[in-house]
Amino acid sequence: MLRDITLGQYYQTDSVIHRLDPRVKLAGTLVYVITLFFYKNFVGYALAILFLALVIRLSKVPFKFMVRGMKSILFLLMITVLFNLFLTPGTPVVSFWKLHITQEGTALAVSMALRLTLLVIGSSLMTLTTTPNNLTDGMEKGMGFLRIFKVPVHDVAMMMSIALRFIPILLEETDKIMKAQMARGADFESGNLIKRAKALVPLLVPLFVSAFRRANDLAMAMEARCYRGGDGRTKMKPLKYKGRDFTAYAILLFFMVFSIWAGRLRLPMLMVGIVQ
């Protein structure tokens, strides 16, 4: 059950997407997510799906890994769809009791569902193809300009990479403690909500204790190696753009401009939501 969390999980394989500079992937994800909010017709979404499908294909990550990430937002997705479906005013298509499904509502619900799905799959694709280390490296370098405004970019990046690094460790630890308590007859899966919440105490207490112990050890180890923040610190493998990274930027720019242009055309039957 804990293994199902895909967000922030790297899928190891060798592909063009994996080899891209993390800054390209970060910018790409950002651009992709933002463009999703510009579309006014379904042509835009069709283009976005096509683009994502192409990148997934290139990344060689099996599609089922994307779907796994979807599980976590299934509930949110359902609520969004239902609310949009029933609560959008407009031309009714089906009515029963006090509820009306309108033409506009259907279009809005579908577009919302698409937007959320693409958002999650798009961003999990980034984490699936980029190691956490690379990701924070990219962030540190890409956001470097913020240093002018006294933003502690290095420290934030370091905190992020440590946090990301701790996710699998803590998951493993959780798994281990869970098993150890199950061996003592603990039951995490049955009973009502209160009983289940209570059952978590034997899991959470040791987990917190071990998280603090690990944090302490890590701080000690960093200090022993004379860590003192980002000033004057060099990298063993500094990030460097290569030819393919510029190609990727060009493709991205083209996708952004073209899909926004196409996505905002006034096409009578394919519009999303309320058209003024």
Partner 1 sequence: MPIQIEHLTHIYGDDTTLAVKALDDINLTISDGEFIGLIGHTGSGKSTLVQHLNGLLKASSGSILFDGQNIYDKGYDLKALRSQVGLVFQYPEHQLFEIDVFSDVCFGPKNLGLSEEEVKERATKALESVGIPKELYNQSPFDLSGGQKRRVAIAGVLAMDPKVLILDEPTAGLDPQGREEILDLIKGLQTKSHMTILLVSHSMEDVAEYVDRILVMNHGRVVYDGTPKEVFAHYKELEDIGLACPQVTYVCHDLHDAGFDVDLTATTVDEAKESILRALG
**What does the binding site for partner 1 look like in residue numbers (CB under 8 A)?**
11-13, 62, 64, 176-177, 179-187, 201-202, 205-206, 209-210
**Which of 190/276 has CB closer to partner 1?**
190
Q: How far is CA 212 from the centre of its chain?
A: 27
**Which of 6/35 has CB closer to partner 1?**
6
CB of 237 to partner 1, least distance (A): 23
CB of 78 to partner 1, least distance (A): 26
CB of 127 to partner 1, least distance (A): 15
**Which of 81/128 has CB closer to partner 1?**
128
What is the residue-wise DSSP string for the chain? -GGG--TT-------HHHHS-HHHHHHHHHHHHHHTTT--BHHHHHHHHHHHHHHHHHHT--HHHHHHHHHTTHHHHHHHHHHHHHH--SSEEEEETTEEEEHHHHHHHHHHHHHHHHHHHHHHHHHHHS-HHHHHHHHHHHTGGGGGGT--HHHHHHHHHHHHHHHHHHHHHHHHHHHHHHHTT--SSSS-HHHHHHHTHHHHHHHHHHHHHHHHHHHHHHHHTT---STT---SS-----HHHHHHHHHHHHHHHHHHHHHTS--GGGB-S---
- CA neighbor of 26 nearest in space, from 137, 121, 117, 114: 137
**Which of 195/242 has CB closer to partner 1?**
195
CB of 26 to partner 1, least distance (A): 24
**Which of 63/227 has CB closer to partner 1?**
63
**Which of 74/183 has CB closer to partner 1?**
183
CB of 46 to partner 1, least distance (A): 30
CB of 126 to partner 1, least distance (A): 18
CB of 187 to partner 1, least distance (A): 7
**Which of 146/205 has CB closer to partner 1?**
205
